[in-house]
């Protein structure tokens, strides 16, 4: 009897052990300890959000051995969060980063490089558009894979409201542009609706291109190298031009109190004749605007300015954002991170993006043009002969971007003069030498 009890006890233990092994398994047959966990910090880098999220979900299904954990927040809070994490060094395994963030992370050794992975996959490397990696390359090392290639500056204007105000076509000179603003205002319209609550929009989508009209791109490069200054006359002139627009009532009075969605609502409701935004607004307007607004919308860029040193056929633009990975990743975890990044930067993803009126960073060889909105077709036509000039918040350090963009908020409401702001910006630049 005692022997029987011992045998039964041994069998029970064996069965419990088998049960544990069975329950610890997963649908893919791997124990949790065998799964690779990757964290990814991001915001919805595609305007309708679904494209990127769908791509991550597809990656999960195709790679069940990888546990992908998303740390997703909206765009503006994301920028703040990543600045904070940049100070502590507690970055996710993968993360969306712009050039400004990388300038902060790279000297601290937080970011891995893609040179080896790109060189090992020529098809992937050669699939990108020219200059796609420029904003994410330092000393020949590539720290980010672009998520798009686009203009951050486009003027969306209502052709019908322009006609009603006696403006036959979009202005081709700065004098015609300011004259049009006055005519639109006299017609009871807000000439340009913008939402600058976060302080980024005016600086990024309007001022970057306006400043380049006055300074030229060579000056911007010289400022980065320390051989030019923000107190130079051409930069001060660009600040004066923005100040003049504000003083003549070009913008909605609550420009610093509302966001981009609210500004677009003013345009959709025909209360504003123009909005200035990036290429991403093509999707917003094509998806959300009333049909008559979509049909009436034309696309343009800022005209040339008197005595400007910049190319009037250029606009602030480039890759904008990239996907980067934590330098601490090694082995299978690093391989998994590279695989994920490849999945959202190849032909299939690019085709999906362009067919949803997006601007992928890769050369999409075949796509269904019938899926593009008329406004998207107009955008590609507008950009056909344009060059890209630097995006301030992509190519300058976070501290410098903050003082410029916050200063522009103050400039718009008369809280600072162009001369005072230029000196303040330069004083911050001097501390970085």
Write out the residue range of the structural domain in which residue 400 sits: 151-317+380-430
Residue 10 lies in a domain: no
Whether residues 193 and 263 share a domain: the answer is: yes
Confirm if 270 and 158 have CB atoms less than 8 A apart.
yes
Residue 140 lies in a domain: yes
DSSP tag of 359: -
Whether residues 198 and 246 share a domain: the answer is: yes
CA distances from 383 to 185, 311, 313, 365, 372 (A): 29, 14, 9, 18, 16
CATH of the domain at 276: 3.40.190.10
Whether residues 167 and 200 share a domain: the answer is: yes
Residue 307 lies in a domain: yes
Predicted confidence pLDDT, tens digits, the chain (433 residues): 444 333 333 334 333 343 333 333 344 334 355 789 999 999 876 555 688 888 999 999 999 999 999 988 888 788 888 888 988 889 999 999 988 899 899 999 999 999 999 999 999 999 998 788 988 999 999 999 998 888 999 999 999 999 999 999 999 999 999 999 999 999 999 999 999 999 999 999 999 999 999 999 999 999 999 999 999 999 999 999 999 999 999 999 999 999 999 999 999 999 999 999 999 899 899 999 999 999 999 999 999 999 999 999 999 998 878 999 999 999 999 999 999 999 999 889 989 988 888 888 888 888 888 888 999 999 989 998 898 999 998 889 888 999 999 999 999 999 999 999 999 999 999 998 6
Whether residues 179 and 266 share a domain: the answer is: yes
Whether residues 130 and 114 share a domain: the answer is: yes
Residue 130 is predicted with a pLDDT of 79
What CA–CA distance (Å, rounded) separates 60 from 304?
Answer: 49
Whether residues 67 and 165 share a domain: the answer is: no
Q: Report pTM.
A: 0.76
Whether residues 213 and 284 share a domain: the answer is: yes
Domain's final residue, options 329, 351, 374 = 374
Whether residues 281 and 407 share a domain: the answer is: yes
Residue with tokens 């290639």: 149
| Beta-bridge partners for 192 | 251, 274
Residue 86 is predicted with a pLDDT of 87
Whether residues 175 and 231 share a domain: the answer is: yes
What CA–CA distance (Å, rounded) separates 399 from 37?
Answer: 33
Residue 25 lies in a domain: no
Whether residues 285 and 368 share a domain: the answer is: no
Whether residues 193 and 324 share a domain: the answer is: no
Residue 49 is predicted with a pLDDT of 60
| Total domain count, the chain | 2
Residue 165 is predicted with a pLDDT of 98
Whether residues 309 and 324 share a domain: the answer is: no
Residue 355 is predicted with a pLDDT of 87
């Amino acid at each position: 009897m005692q022997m029987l009890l011992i045998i039964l006890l041994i069998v029970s233990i064996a069965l419990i052990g088998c049960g544990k092994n069975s329950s610890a398994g997963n649908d893919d047959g791997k124990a949790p300890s065998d799964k690779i966990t990757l964290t990814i910090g991001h915001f919805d880098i595609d305007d309708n959000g679904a494209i990127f999220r769908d791509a991550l979900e597809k990656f999960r299904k195709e790679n069940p051995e990888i546990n992908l954990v998303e740390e997703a927040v909206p765009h503006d809070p994301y920028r703040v969060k990543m600045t904070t994490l940049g100070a502590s060094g507690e970055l996710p395994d993968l993360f969306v980063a712009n050039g400004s963030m990388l300038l902060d992370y790279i000297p601290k050794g937080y970011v891995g490089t893609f040179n080896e992975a790109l060189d090992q996959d020529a098809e992937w490397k050669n699939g990108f558009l020219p200059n796609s990696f420029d904003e994410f390359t330092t000393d020949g090392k590539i720290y980010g894979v672009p998520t798009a290639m686009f203009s951050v500056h486009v003027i969306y204007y209502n052709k019908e409201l322009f006609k009603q105000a006696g403006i036959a076509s979009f202005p081709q000179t700065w004098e015609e542009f300011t004259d049009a603003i006055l005519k639109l205002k006299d017609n009871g319209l807000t000439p340009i609706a913008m939402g600058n609550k976060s302080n980024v929009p005016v600086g990024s989508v309007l001022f970057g291109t306006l400043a380049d009209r006055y300074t030229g791109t060579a000056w911007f490069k010289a400022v980065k190298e320390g051989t030019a200054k923000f107190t130079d006359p051409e930069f001060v002139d660009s600040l004066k031009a923005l100040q003049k627009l504000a003083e003549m009532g070009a913008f909605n009075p609550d420009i610093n109190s509302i966001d981009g969605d609210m500004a677009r609502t003013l345009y959709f409701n025909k209360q504003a004749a123009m909005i200035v935004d990036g290429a991403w607004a093509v999707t917003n307007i094509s998806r959300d605007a009333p049909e008559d607004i979509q049909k009436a919308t034309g696309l343009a860029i800022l005209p040339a300015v008197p005595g400007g040193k910049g190319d009037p056929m250029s606009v602030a633009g480039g890759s904008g954002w990239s996907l980067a990975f934590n330098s601490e990743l090694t082995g299978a975890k690093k391989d998994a991170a590279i695989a994920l990044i490849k999945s959202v930067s190849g032909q299939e993803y690019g085709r999906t993006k362009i067919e949803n009126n997006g601007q992928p960073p890769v050369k999409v060889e075949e796509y269904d043009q019938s899926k593009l909105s008329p406004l998207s077709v107009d955008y590609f036509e507008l950009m056909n002969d344009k060059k890209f000039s630097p995006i301030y918040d992509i190519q300058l350090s976070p501290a410098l971007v903050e003082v410029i963009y916050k200063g522009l908020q103050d400039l718009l409401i008369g809280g600072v003069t162009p001369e005072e702001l230029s000196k303040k910006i330069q004083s911050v630049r001097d501390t970085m030498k």
